[in-house]
Amino acid sequence: MTSIKPFLDNSSEATKFEDIIDLLIIGSGPAGYTAAIYASRAGLNPILYQGKEPGGQLTITSDVENYPGYPNGIQGPEMMLDFQKQAERFGTIVKGGFIKSVDFSKYPFEIIDDNDKILIVNSVIISTGASAKWLGLESEKKFNGNGVSACAVCDGFFFKDQIVAVVGGGDTAAEESLYLSKITKKVFLIVRRNELRASKIMQKRVFDNKNIEIIWNSEVKDVLGDDKVDSVLVLNNSNNTTSKLNISGLFIAIGHKPNTDIFKNYIDLDDNGYILTKPGTTQTNIKGVFATGDAQDKIYRQAVTAAGSGCMGALEAEKFLSENNLS
């Protein structure tokens, strides 16, 4: 883990900077805002940059019914506005821009925002999340939140006893299909190739499930419907024929991409770009830099788990600043 000792051994260095930010939070999903709530209540005066997608993936989620405290459910964008208001209530400064680059090779850290403003920072919480990979169809965007989803656990309940389709051939698609098979009438698994890429055990579970029908060598070319999805146009890429598949919900399960590119020269990442943290913590390989939410969680990817890790990040940042006499 990179040490900050050279800076700490020479406290006069701090006088070189007039406006050192004690804690910068990058990202504004449940993880970022929860970190901001805890940090601001602890008197750390955090500054939070919302990023290019303020509110994260929940802003494209219609009904959120599995987050504690909302017995009647809540719209995703409204929920994230509640998070923001709560963070601001305790003094968090929320910025509408995004972070363009970071330099974690020096201390204090040097970070540049979208207006090319240089920020001098004592500690950082990364909450940049992960973005679902999409098919890239205009109709897919049109029905996002109205029949098109990238999270079966989040939205599967709304399609109870209905017919749905899942797109993908890896473990994510297999997991989504198996989950949906328990609550829907039927699941079509649309696979682009003539085989699954999922692990052998996941393949067996899919093949053994009578509620899942695999459509091989096929791609979704269009999502159809008026106000909500009622069917998809499917191309068989082996014989170039198209057919219409009547469904109520379409789940895209071709993977997620963590939004971590700007950190890759400094922070240890796994092969898929997720930030590696010390087990049981939010600590990265750089002292004073913490990672929370979906940027480091490729397993659960839920709002409530992201919020929990945001709390952890804030508590660990507070401890770091206190132990090093930086706040």
Catalytic residues: 151, 154-155
CA distance 61 to 150: 10
Instruction: Give the integer Cα–Cα distance in Å for 263 and 119.
Output: 16
Residue 55, SS3?
coil
> Tokens 């987050």, residue?
67
Cα 123 from Cα 276, distance rounded (Å): 17
Angle at alpha carbon of residue 156, lines to 152 and 159, rounded to 5°: 145
* Buried/exposed 144-158: b ≥16 CB within 10 Å, e otherwise: bbebbbbbbebbbeb
- The token duo for 209 is 């499930």
CA–CA distance, 168 with 228 (Å, rounded to integer): 22
Alpha-carbon span 128 to 317, nearest angstrom? 17
DSSP H/E element including 224? strand 218-225
CA angle 128-65-40, nearest 5°? Answer: 45
Say which amino acid occupies 308: G
**Separation of alpha carbons 41 and 92, rounded Å:** 9
Report whether the peptide linkage leading into residue 108 is cis, meaning its omega lies within 30 degrees of zero. Answer: yes
Written as one string, the DSSP assignment of 97-112 is S-EEEEE-SSSSEEEE
For 314, the token pair is 């804030």
- Pairing relationship of beta strands 99-103 and 109-113 according to DSSP bridges: antiparallel
